[in-house]
Amino acid sequence: MRQPSYFFDENKRFVIEEFDRATPFSSFLPGIAGLKGIPMWTFYVNRGQVISSFGIGDKDSPIMEFTPANGAYKSVPTSGFRTFIKLKHSSEIYEPFRPLKNEQHIKRKMYIEAGQVSIEEINLELNLKIVIHYFHMPEANFAGLVRKVEVTNLGNEPIQFEVVDGAPEILPYGVTNAAYKEVGNLMRSWMEVYNQENRIPFYRVRASIGDEAEVSEVTGGHFYLSFSDEEELIQPIVDTTILFGEDTALHYPEEFDRLSLESLTKQSQVTANKVPCGFTPVQRSLQPNASTTIWTMIGHVKEIEIVQNQVPKIVSLSYMEAKQKRSEEIIRSLTDSIDTHSSSELFNEYARQSYLDNMLRGGYPHILENGQDGFVYHLFSRKHGDLERDYNFFNIAPEFYSQGNGNFRDANQNRRSDIYFNPNVKSFNVKMFMSLIQADGYNPLSVKGCSFNVKESAKSMIPEMITKHLQQGDDRLRKLLEGAFTPGQISTLVDTLGLTYRTNEESFFLDVFTVAEQEIEANFGEGYWVDHWTYNMDLVDSYLDVYPDRKDTFLFGEKDYKFFDSPAQVLPRSEKYVLTKEGMVRQYGSVIEDEEKMDRLGMNINSTHWMKTEQGQGEVYTTNLFVKLLSLSLVKFSTLDPAGIGIEMEANKPGWNDALNGLPGIFGSGVSETLELKRMVQFINSSIKAYGHQQVQVPVEIFTLLQGVGEELQKLKSDQISEFDYWDAVSSLRETYRSTIRFGFAGDEKVVSLQELASLYELLEEKLTVGINKAVELGEGLTPTYLTYEVDEFEQVLDPNGNPVMSGYGLPKVKITKLSAPKPLPHFLEGPARMYKTFKDVERARSIHEKVKETDLYDPVIHMFKTSVSLDEQSHEIGRIKAFTPGWLERESVFLHMSYKYVLELIKSGLYDEYYEEIKTSLVPFLDPAVYGRSTLENSSFLASSSNPDPSTHGRGYVARLSGSTAEFLSMWKTMMMGHTLYSVQGGQLTLSLSPILPKWLFTEEGTLSFMLFGTTKVTYHNVSGKDTFGENGVVVKGYKLTFKDGRTVHVEAASVIGADAQAVRDGEIVEIEVTLG
């Protein structure tokens, strides 16, 4: 029997032999077509000819039907690409890559690269080799998936054959994926294929398919273009009946079997009222060792003329070969920012792949010049949606300078390390995600790409700018610039209109963006999660690790932070504490859309709004970072649970573990969020000590809440009130605060010196510490992650007639008068992972790690860390996690993001030996690919643990790539390569200190290891003694050799680089740093 095998070849490709016999998996092409290219989405599996679906924009514009992974594994061999070869004198049609029984004469391989995927079949009986490559068309003004099919004669005799190659279904543009699945037979009524006379079929519906009064003609469409060695367009077959006859299951091309290719292609094709196909017919003679190539491009274009006019260059073999090479170059150049050279090629390439996949979720920070610091514009991002994440609706904008949608938590974490690869990002990410924090402490879920507006005072300059830079004017360009726009929309429109520049695009953009303002786009989405705000401090820490000399300005000097304003309102306890039919008190219906607010302020829940003064009628309120941190920490502190341990899940959603969706209903709270709140309060306290002389202007509403919380804390500390009464009083203060800012701030401010805040914030930190200590006690020495409460006593709310008062959720309201003691859920990994962040004590950290490994959080079978211990004894009320199979998804699996979070904290806590011991079995490149079941250069969302009842799944990775684990790995990589603190201010001078934490086995035989700092400066460590860079006998930095852009060098015989030289590194003036270790 053919057995699969996995290896990493000399061309840095991940290879799977007999891929179709291997464990099924899904993945995707990156969807990057370059700065000035039109991207598309393409998914593949290791079955059939691998491509399972592709399309433009989102799921609603498929070219090949989007099918979830479990269906794709079954359907791809039939509904995916197909190749039929009819050899002269042969009685059967040969179909490469079809499902096999156990034919030993057929050998197959799959080659996975960052920007393309290829498959190969060698048929030893027929002496044929078929190789198929897939890549996205780069740097073109249309989107295209390119399929290159090479057929080689391996025999000693010439052969003659006919081949038909292509896709059995191509969905016309305008047919949504959902419509095709649900009413596909009806959709045929709209379908038609145009432009056959020009040999480039154009697939689209005739008009919009919606059942509305307004009907519009559809002008854009999908196209199919094919050519071969003659460099001439080939007339495709678009009618499946021509090939398959009445075999509607598409198993066998019976008509091709019956007729010659010449006869087949002369038949009349029906191009309407049926689901079309796209097949390329070719007739060939091949000498021994000779090859023939069929190039096919299937894509999307707004007008068919855009492709039609480029046919002469497209059908050139050299042009397409260059495009294939360029496609890979684009991806390689993007990942050059993390170019790493260690002893492990797998680790080096894994770093590149992780950087790429991190970029696909968080975006690539591109700087748009504007005459000042430039606008940071994140390219290539999209919400993580794919064959295994079939529940997510992704979007990849089909335009130049493409950007997509994302979730707050995901984009936030995936941008954590931006500044280490491009220091010109500066405070942008901090400003963006802190501004998206609302005054009520929550944030929008859906984060879109940024847009721009020409400032009102400069709009009169738009016609002049167009005339200055373009040969022709056009009202459509002027109108675009008068509203909201993106650089991609400008560039794409100029290209679509056929406008030519007097100058160039860069000069035009510079003039436009010099007078433009950047707008952050976001909306409420689906709810308020309790953990989203916690990732903002990582962005703050990253900024200060690179720009510690600007901390004063960073905290107090930039007064352009805003508060996102959402119509979604968190209800007070009186509206969401309810009595169920079973007589249980629960917290349901916590968030509503505030219709009155939307009407009064003209708001749309799907649009971006910012908090204004004068109760929403004034100007957008702005402040500095310190006040934002102050308000956020205060509101979160006011949501501590009744025992003062966890942060209440008061807004319908849980924390990081989405599958615990039932916890808010049973009064759940998160200890992880308390740990992060302590971290934020510690930062505020250190800032107060450093800048006590500073004064800040605080909205009067926040100041009132500050005073109220301070008073209640004093009462609690002096035992004037109980813990429950404190919770009740502070919760009431929070609810009053939220009601006063419902429509906006008043606009009045209170001037407060930081010194005035010192005693109160010390009390906050003290109470948080007490609560965390209680948590550790409840967890029997290990921090629990989640708590729940039961209601011991309550009063039903009645109207004057004694009838129950109903909540908006439809259940009777209650008032809680007594709660049980907190009950911890069984241990989850998140609590300990976040606990490490709150202290600096190596022995304490080691003790926690040892305790974790003694629990079932550690899987002794696959030697990795699980999300949780067994949940068998828990109620289904905790959420869907209880219904999941153990060892699967968020339940007791190795969820790579959380596992990596935990492992990252080992190296950050000083447990270097433990860290390097764990990554041998926890870091993906070091796993056995035969067990992992996919490329060990690519992360998965989770690995099935030994808790799963199916032993064959243990250690196997599921759900490809776009995982928060990439953000955690980049943080590991940064700490390994650079150390804990990159920049500091010592003796009043900026100081760069490279302090790598690297084991001796990662250095090459020559004793070197190199990486890229800030994406532009190559750093090489020279470790001639071959020792670790940590531990008692470890080597340390002894000196630096700095090479500037102009070729001059500077030698520094010290552990740090200071002053102007340290500044020069950050400014990108130094191209290479050689570091001596000893």
* Least confident range of 97-106, 667-676, 947-956: 97-106
Q: Return the structure tokens found at 1002.
A: 């990662």
Q: Tell me which residue of 424, 415, 412, 490 sits closest to 451, measured CA to CA.
A: 490
Give pLDDT tens digits for 702-743: 999 999 999 999 999 999 999 999 999 999 999 999 999 999
Cβ of 792: how many Cβ atoms within 10 Å? 12
Q: Tell me which residue of 817, 718, 820 sits closest to 778, measured CA to CA.
A: 820
Which amino acid is present at 731? S
Q: What is the mean pLDDT of the chain?
A: 96
Judged against a pLDDT cut of 60, whether residue 641 lies above it is answered with yes
Give pLDDT tens digits for 1028-1047: 999 999 999 999 999 999 99
Q: Give the ranges where 143-302 is alpha helix by DSSP (H).
A: 177-187, 240-244, 254-258, 261-265
Q: Return the structure tokens found at 780.
A: 């029997």
Judged against a pLDDT cut of 60, whether residue 349 lies above it is answered with yes
Distance CA 73, CA 6 (A): 20
Mean of the pLDDT values across residues 5-11?
Answer: 95
Q: Would you say 542 and 452 are in contact if contact means Cβ atoms under 8 Å apart?
A: no
374 conformational bin, left if phi > 0, alpha if psi -120 to 50, beta if neither: left
- State how beta strands 1070-1077 and 1017-1022 pair: parallel
Q: Tell me which residue of 656, 652, 653, 657 sits closest to 891, measured CA to CA.
A: 657
Q: Return the structure tokens found at 731.
A: 């919760």
Q: Would you say 778 and 784 are in contact if contact means Cβ atoms under 8 Å apart?
A: yes
The pLDDT > 70 percentage for the chain reads 99
Cβ of 164: how many Cβ atoms within 10 Å? 23
What does the pLDDT read at residue 994?
99
Judged against a pLDDT cut of 60, whether residue 213 lies above it is answered with no
Judged against a pLDDT cut of 90, whether residue 762 lies above it is answered with yes
Give pLDDT tens digits for 443-480: 999 999 899 999 999 999 999 999 999 999 889 999 99
Q: How far apart are the first and last CA of the chain?
A: 54
Q: Tell me which residue of 956, 911, 910, 913 sits closest to 935, measured CA to CA.
A: 956
> At 81, is the secondary structure helix, strand, or coil?
coil
What are the φ/ψ torsions at residue 364 (nearest 5 degrees)?
Answer: -100, 120
Most confident of 101-105, 378-382, 654-658: 654-658
Mean of the pLDDT values across residues 755-784?
Answer: 98
User: Regarding predicted confidence, which is higher, 636 or 1?
Assistant: 636
Helix (H) or strand (E) holding 52: strand 51-55
- Cα-Cα-Cα-Cα dihedral sign, residues 877, 883, 886, 887: negative
Confidence of residue 33 (pLDDT cuts 50, 70, 90): very high
Distance CA 851, CA 723 (A): 30
Helix (H) or strand (E) holding 464: helix 462-469
Confidence of residue 773 (pLDDT cuts 50, 70, 90): very high
Mean of the pLDDT values across residues 196-207?
Answer: 94
Judged against a pLDDT cut of 90, whether residue 129 lies above it is answered with yes
Q: Return the structure tokens found at 887.
A: 């060892």
- State how beta strands 957-960 and 940-943 pair: antiparallel
What are the φ/ψ torsions at residue 918 (nearest 5 degrees)?
Answer: -70, -35
The C-alpha angle 296, 297, 302, rounded to 5 degrees, equals 150
Question: Half-sphere exposure of 293 toward its Cβ, with a 13 Å CA cutoff?
Answer: 17
What does the pLDDT read at residue 215?
52
Confidence of residue 285 (pLDDT cuts 50, 70, 90): very high
Give pLDDT tens digits for 849-891: 999 999 999 999 999 999 999 999 999 999 999 999 999 999 9
Distance CA 998, CA 995 (A): 9
- The beta strands (E) that lie in 571-608 are given as 577-579, 585-587, 591-593
Q: Tell me which residue of 712, 737, 714, 736 sits closest to 726, measured CA to CA.
A: 712
Judged against a pLDDT cut of 70, whether residue 769 lies above it is answered with yes
The C-alpha angle 568, 574, 579, rounded to 5 degrees, equals 105
Classify residue 464 by burial, with Cβ atoms within 10 Å: 0-12, 13-18, 19+: exposed
Distance CA 250, CA 305 (A): 32
Distance CA 127, CA 517 (A): 63
- State how beta strands 57-58 and 62-64 pair: unpaired
Distance CA 755, CA 777 (A): 34
Cβ of 251: how many Cβ atoms within 10 Å? 12
Distance CA 878, CA 337 (A): 43
User: Going from the N-terminus, what domains does the chain have, and what CATH number goes with each?
Assistant: 5-333 (2.70.98.40), 573-598+613-963 (1.50.10), 979-1077 (no CATH)
What does the pLDDT read at residue 389?
84
Q: Tell me which residue of 811, 813, 845 sits closest to 913, measured CA to CA.
A: 845
- The beta strands (E) that lie in 546-685 are given as 568-570, 577-579, 585-587, 591-593, 647-648, 669-670
Confidence of residue 238 (pLDDT cuts 50, 70, 90): very high
What does the pLDDT read at residue 1?
66
Distance CA 243, CA 835 (A): 64
What does the pLDDT read at residue 404?
82
Distance CA 774, CA 780 (A): 10
Classify residue 65 by burial, with Cβ atoms within 10 Å: 0-12, 13-18, 19+: buried
Which amino acid is present at 1026? G
Judged against a pLDDT cut of 90, whether residue 208 lies above it is answered with no
Distance CA 972, CA 1068 (A): 23
What does the pLDDT read at residue 386?
86
Whole-Å CA distances, 121 to 241, 557, 983: 28, 63, 53
What does the pLDDT read at residue 584?
98
Report the predicted TM-score, pTM, of the whole model to 2 decimal places. Answer: 0.96
Which amino acid is present at 273? N
Partnered with residue 446 across adjacent β-strands are 407, 523
What does the pLDDT read at residue 617?
98
Whole-Å CA distances, 33 to 12, 57, 204, 273, 422: 21, 13, 23, 33, 21
Which amino acid is present at 925? P
- Cα-Cα-Cα-Cα dihedral sign, residues 58, 59, 61, 63: positive
The pLDDT > 90 percentage for the chain reads 93
